[in-house]
């Protein structure tokens, strides 16, 4: 493992001068409403530093499968889950991306900033996005649908920096039957996907799921108004992501 400078924050190891503390804070807020118990099979796509994974383990989940392609993040996951990472029947770590591609390896794009460890993607939304991401590495990749079919998660978290858009479109937002709760982060692209998701895919998900939590991630405020009526979102300024939590209807 690489040498890491770390500090403790709310019970989690974090790297100083990064977005780790923000990610921990968001995880504690976004995923607090998950109903995880000893029967839960939890799959975490986009594990970051393991904040959600640790929450699932502390809730006594039956299994945790956590996927993260970025090396520094992956090392932080093993550190934050140190008390659990030898329990192979309970916890499995995968240093790999997930996407709709069948390729065993993909290019992983990151920008050169303090936020680079949580903004890498194998699915940049445009040529402009590719050009802006100067750090590029080759990472392992697994097909997201094949992983879900094999593991049959009851609780699924998807935070994969743009690859979720390809997945939603490919599957037409048909959530696998095993999934009882779904955490989904939608990231901004240049095709108007927020509006498409709000008008088409969000209502489709809501046919079988109840929205429990919706949080828009917005930037600098200005007079530009973004309205997504089905999700009840109204933002002045930029909108770069939406965090959602769904629970299957009984």
Distances (CA, A) of 104 to 67, 93, 115: 15, 17, 26
pLDDT for the residue numbered 224 = 85
CB-CB contact of 33 with 245 (8 Å): yes
pLDDT (average), residues 176-193: 93
pLDDT confidence tier of residue 219, bands split at 50, 70 and 90: confident
d(CA 30, CA 52): 9
Handedness of CA 187, 193, 195, 200 (dihedral sign): negative
CB-CB contact of 2 with 71 (8 Å): yes
Entry field: residues in the chain: 250
pLDDT (average), residues 196-216: 97
- The continuous run of DSSP H or E covering 183 comes out as strand 181-187
pLDDT (average), residues 191-195: 92
Handedness of CA 52, 103, 139, 113 (dihedral sign): negative
pLDDT for the residue numbered 1 = 46
Q: What are phi and psi of 52, to 5 degrees?
A: -65, -40
Output the six-digit token pair for 142. Answer: 């697994």
pLDDT for the residue numbered 114 = 55
pLDDT for the residue numbered 29 = 92
pLDDT (average), residues 161-174: 95
β pairing state of 41-45 and 155-158:
parallel
The pLDDT of residue 50 is above 80: yes
pLDDT for the residue numbered 82 = 86
The pLDDT of residue 72 is above 90: yes
pLDDT (average), residues 182-206: 94
The pLDDT of residue 244 is above 50: yes
The pLDDT of residue 162 is above 50: yes
Q: What are phi and psi of 14, to 5 degrees?
A: -135, 155
pLDDT for the residue numbered 173 = 98
pLDDT for the residue numbered 124 = 83
Higher pLDDT residue, 1 or 249? 249
Burial pattern 195-209, b for ≥16 Cβ within 10 A else e, equals eebbeebbeebeeeb
pLDDT confidence tier of residue 86, bands split at 50, 70 and 90: low
Higher pLDDT residue, 74 or 115? 74
What percent of the chain is modeled with pLDDT above 90?
A: 77
Mean of the per-residue pLDDT values of the chain: 92
Predicted TM-score (pTM) above 0.75: yes
Neighbours of 217 (CB within 10 A): 16
The pLDDT of residue 170 is above 60: yes
Write down the H helix ranges in 71-196.
Answer: 71-80, 127-132, 144-151, 163-171, 193-196
The pLDDT of residue 2 is above 90: no
The pLDDT of residue 98 is above 50: yes
d(CA 51, CA 76): 10
β pairing state of 135-143 and 155-158:
unpaired
């Amino acid at each position: 493992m690489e040498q890491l400078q770390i500090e403790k924050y709310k019970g989690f190891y974090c790297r100083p001068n990064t977005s780790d503390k923000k990610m921990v804070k968001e995880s504690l807020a976004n995923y607090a409403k998950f109903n995880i118990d000893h029967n839960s099979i939890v799959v975490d796509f986009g594990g970051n530093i393991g904040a959600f994974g640790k929450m699932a383990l502390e809730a006594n989940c039956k299994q945790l499968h956590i996927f993260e392609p970025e090396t520094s993040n992956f090392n932080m996951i093993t550190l934050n889950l140190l008390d659990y990472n030898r329990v192979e029947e309970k916890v499995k770590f995968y240093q790999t991306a997930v996407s709709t591609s069948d390729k065993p390896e993909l290019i992983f794009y990151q920008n050169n900033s303090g936020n680079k460890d949580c903004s890498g993607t194998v699915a940049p939304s445009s040529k402009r996005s590719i050009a802006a991401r100067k750090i590029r590495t080759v990472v392992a990749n697994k097909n997201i649908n094949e992983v879900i079919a094999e593991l049959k998660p009851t609780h699924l978290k998807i935070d994969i920096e743009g690859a979720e858009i390809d997945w939603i479109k490919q599957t037409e937002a048909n959530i696998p039957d095993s999934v009882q709760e779904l955490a989904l982060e939608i990231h901004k692209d240049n095709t108007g996907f927020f509006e498409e998701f709000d008008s088409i895919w969000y209502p489709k998900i809501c046919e079988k799921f109840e929205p429990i939590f919706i949080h828009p991630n917005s930037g600098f405020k200005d007079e530009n108004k973004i309205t997504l009526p089905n999700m009840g979102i109204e933002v002045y300024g930029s909108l770069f992501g939406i965090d959602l939590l769904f629970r299957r209807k009984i």
